[in-house]
Amino acid sequence: MYDVIVAGAGPAGSTAARLCAEHGLRTLLLEKERIPREKPCAGGLSIAASRELGLSLPGNLIERRCRGMRLVVGETQTTVEVEHDVAFMVRRSSFDAFLAGEAARAGAELHEGEGCTVAARDEGCVSVGTQKGSYRAKTLIGADGYFSAVAKVVRPPFSTDEIRFCLITEIPLPEAEIEQRLGDLVEIDYGAVELGYAWLFPKRDHIAAGVGGSSSRARSMKETFIRFLHARDLPVPRRIRGCYIPISRFRSPVRAGRVLLAGDAAGFVDSFSGEGIRYAAASGRLAAEAVIRFEGAERGGHSALGSYEKACRRSFIGDLRSSNAVTDLTFRHPGIFLAPVVADRRMLLRYLETMTGDRGFREYARRLALRFPFLFVGGVFGFKK
């Protein structure tokens, strides 16, 4: 029997598995794909996210260092830049392979091409079934994404208002053209789709482009995406990939008995920015810490696991709740709500501070409400932690 099984070798799962293994726990890390594996993802890693990982990224993983943003709402466009990095651009296949490799080097038993298909809470343990067999452990961390098999034993499926849909592609371009178009800026175009935005991220040899928003617009999103690319005079690649993004409304638990959910499986994604890696790494770390406390507790072990959800609330759930409030209020009418915000350079510079971790989104939302009270009446202040 393992001490802990971790399902999913993304940022949440690999972080949790690495930390558990470093503390001497017998750890099994299951990943349904062979590594490296492709994943639809823009590949933007905020500085705050890189800090949550607790690792130094090899230089060859960082395809570009970004120090600012170009934000667009209709005819309003503002560029803000700083002298320090606010985000790293990475390729998810290489990035996730690095994280899984670090978990394996720490002592986790990595099973590639073997994903969790079913999970159960048994007496005094948990059990997991895969395409190749079954395993038992004292605890289970579900970090297996939107379609999580582990989540089925913890919470009901995500509701309609908790689901976003994205389309993502890569546009190969000469380095000189990438530099001319974007340089070290990311471009965000709000209002391209309901409850979302379109983006351009500069990489080493291509631009990562995408659009994401309400899942109710999924059928028409490809047409929207193509219009966005044409407006930017960019070619439309043949390969465009789609994915669902969960945005928790925090109506469901993230822990049941000996089973914990982390990352996308728990819906820990910022609805305003779409950032998920940061909260995946943070929740993976907190889940590992809860499991480690559980293993070390002579009495009251389950209270150690119960502390996981409380730790998430203290760490980042307040920020995610505020992000939901701001998103719901502003994205439905971006021309009315977002245009004055995008035109305010001071508030945009403060937003960059949320990307570096120097400011939480909840604090930023409060400052937005103070700066634009006519837009945010009753919208943000009352949100619970």
Q: Give 180-202 pLDDT, tens digit per residue.
A: 999 999 999 987 887 789 999 99
Q: Write out pLDDT tens, residues 39-95.
A: 889 999 999 999 999 999 999 999 999 999 999 998 889 999 999 999 999 999 999
Mean pLDDT of 163-182: 96
Name the residue type at position 129: G
Mean pLDDT (the chain, rounded): 93
Mean pLDDT of 272-298: 93
pLDDT of residue 383: 43
Mean pLDDT of 99-126: 96
Q: Within its chain, how far is the Cα of 91 from the centroid?
A: 14
Mean pLDDT of 144-156: 97
Classify residue 378: in a domain, yes or no. no
Query: Helix, strand or coil for residue 276?
Result: coil
* Of 133-137, 232-236, 266-270, 341-345, the least confident: 341-345
Mean pLDDT of 200-212: 96
Classify residue 112: in a domain, yes or no. yes
CATH of the domain at 26: 3.50.50.60
| Domains held by the chain: number | 1
Q: Is the pLDDT of residue 380 over 80?
A: no
Token representation of residue 324: 């939901």
Classify residue 351: in a domain, yes or no. no
Classify residue 266: in a domain, yes or no. yes
pLDDT of residue 384: 43
What global pTM score does this model have? 0.94
Classify residue 134: in a domain, yes or no. yes
Residues ≥6 apart with Cβ < 8 Å to 300:
none
Token representation of residue 123: 């007496």
Range of the domain at 296: 2-56+91-158+249-318
Task: Please answer whether residues 193 and 214 qualify as being in contact, where contact means their C-beta atoms are separated by less than 8 angstroms.
Answer: yes
d(CA 121, CA 262): 17
Mean pLDDT of 153-179: 96
d(CA 8, CA 17): 10
Classify residue 234: in a domain, yes or no. no
Classify residue 374: in a domain, yes or no. no
Classify residue 102: in a domain, yes or no. yes
Q: Write out pLDDT tens, residues 347-362.
A: 999 999 999 999 999 9
